[in-house]
Structures are given as structure tokens and as C-alpha cells.
């Protein structure tokens, strides 16, 4: 369970904050655009130009308070990412073949127990070396999954070619995938500042072998921060001025 966050202190230098804010947001946008539009180079260039123009405007005109609050949120997301990686490392040295990771805003449904048992039972016949299964949803699947990456779809779930995460509120992954990710992180001496869902997409893009993601049309669990059932750390930023 990924839960309580450490206190984050933001630098008092306003120019430094603006530069960090500019860098983090643009790198995240650029990666997400490439991840979802791998072969559409001209579209990526055009969208990057538009976003860069927007960020430049924000850099110049947004208040120091708004930039600081937004940067604080980014830094908290970075800390959450570290906790997920720590969970992966602990899992990697265990005897288990699968790990389920939940953040502190996951909420059970009436049928979560039944659906989860059915999912675990189905893993016995799974024939994919690298697999990621989203458990708690968040954003609509139309925003998360490019249509050209869908390889199977029915009334219950969607399977994609490649890793496409939702929000990382709850997910299940197998040991082969975790080991691949950790090897890549260690080899690269990873220092990129991605939220955990972006990081998993990034690591998935670097796998040469067949990988799949599975998303349920009706997720097994609820993402509490999206439906208002949980007052998570993210809720604190809704009442503040952030970008």
C-alpha cells in the first residue's frame, strides 16, 4: 500500500521554481505525446510547439504562489514514484510471482473480492511474459488507450499491445515485468522526474518483447480521488491555485 507522503519543502528562489516547473511539465508532456503517438512525428512536433508556447506564457505571467503550488504537487508525485519502486524491489526478492500495488485512495466495491478472485484464478492460464493489469481505473479509457493499440475488446475488458497505464491507483504486474523494469532503472541510473504512471509507460516502451495491458470496463476497485470518496493528498491542491 502506497500511503502517507513526506513533507515537501519548495525552494524559496522563484526563478529556480519556474525553471523546474517549466522543465518537468514539458518533459512529461513530450513523453506522453510520444507514447500515445509513436509514429505521428508531425503531430507530435505541432503539439509540442503549442504546449511549449503555453508553458512560456505560464512561465512569464503566472504568480509565484501558483508556480510553487504546482511544483509542490509535482515533487509529491516524484516521492510517490519512489515508493512504488521500493515496493517493486521488495517484491523482486520475494518468492511471489505477482504483486498488487494499491495507493491510499483505492476503494473496494461490493463485488471487488469476487472479481479479484476470478482475476487471480485466470492468471494460471496467462501466457504473456510481461503483463500489466489495471485494477482501479481513474480516467476514461478513451483518454488512456490509443485505438490502434487495442488487440482485444469485449464487454468486460480491453487488452492493449504495450503498456498503457491509467493512474496507478491500483494495479497487478508479474515478476518478469518488474525485473525488466528494475534492470532498466538500474542500468540507466534513473533520474527522470516522472509520475509513477508515466514511468511505467516509459519503461514499457523500452521493452522489445511482447507486452500487454489489461483494463476492465468496470474496474475491480474504485479510484477514490476521482469519485470523491477519499480525501487524498491530491485534494489539498484542488482548493489551491495550481496549473
- Name the more confident of 196 and 61: 196
CA–CA separation, 196 and 65 (whole Å): 25
Residue 135's pLDDT is 97
Buried b (16+ CB within 10 A) or exposed e, 172-185: bbbbbbbebbbeeb
Model pLDDT, residue 235? 58
Of 116, 97, 96, 98, whose CA–CA distance to 106 is shortest?
Answer: 116
pLDDT higher than threshold 60 for residue 10: no
Enter the pTM of the model.
0.79
Residue 33: which pLDDT band, with cuts at 50, 70 and 90? confident
Domains, the chain, with CATH or none: 1-243 (3.90.550)
Tell me the pLDDT tens digit for each residue of 71-127: 788 888 888 999 999 999 999 999 999 999 999 899 999 999 999 999 999 998 878
What pLDDT does residue 234 have?
63
Amino acid at each position: 500500500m502506497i500511503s502517507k507522503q513526506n513533507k515537501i519543502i519548495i525552494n524559496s528562489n522563484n526563478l529556480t521554481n519556474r525553471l523546474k516547473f517549466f522543465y518537468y511539465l514539458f518533459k512529461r508532456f513530450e513523453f506522453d505525446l510520444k507514447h500515445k503517438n509513436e509514429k505521428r512525428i508531425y503531430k507530435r512536433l505541432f503539439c509540442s510547439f503549442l504546449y511549449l508556447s503555453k508553458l512560456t506564457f505560464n512561465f512569464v505571467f503566472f504568480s509565484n504562489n501558483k508556480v510553487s503550488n504546482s511544483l509542490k504537487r509535482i515533487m509529491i508525485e516524484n516521492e510517490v514514484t519512489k515508493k512504488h519502486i521500493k515496493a517493486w524491489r521488495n517484491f523482486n526478492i520475494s518468492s511471489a510471482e505477482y504483486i498488487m500495488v494499491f495507493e491510499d485512495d483505492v476503494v473496494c466495491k461490493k463485488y471487488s473480492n469476487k472479481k479479484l478472485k476470478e482475476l487471480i484464478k485466470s492468471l494460471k492460464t496467462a501466457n504473456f511474459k510481461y503483463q500489466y493489469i489495471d485494477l482501479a481505473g481513474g480516467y476514461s479509457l478513451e483518454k488512456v488507450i490509443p485505438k490502434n493499440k487495442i488487440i482485444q475488446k469485449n464487454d468486460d475488458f480491453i487488452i492493449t499491445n504495450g503498456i498503457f497505464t491509467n493512474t496507478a491507483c491500483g494495479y497487478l504486474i508479474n515478476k518478469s515485468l518488474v525485473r525488466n523494469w528494475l534492470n532498466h532503472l538500474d542500468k540507466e541510473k534513473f533520474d527522470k522526474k516522472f509520475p509513477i504512471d508515466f514511468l511505467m509507460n516509459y519503461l514499457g516502451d523500452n521493452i522489445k518483447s511482447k507486452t500487454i495491458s489489461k483494463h476492465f470496463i468496470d474496474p475491480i476497485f474504485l479510484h477514490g480521488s476521482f469519485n470523491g470518496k477519499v480525501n487524498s493528498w491530491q485534494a489539498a491542491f484542488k482548493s489551491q491555485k495550481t496549473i
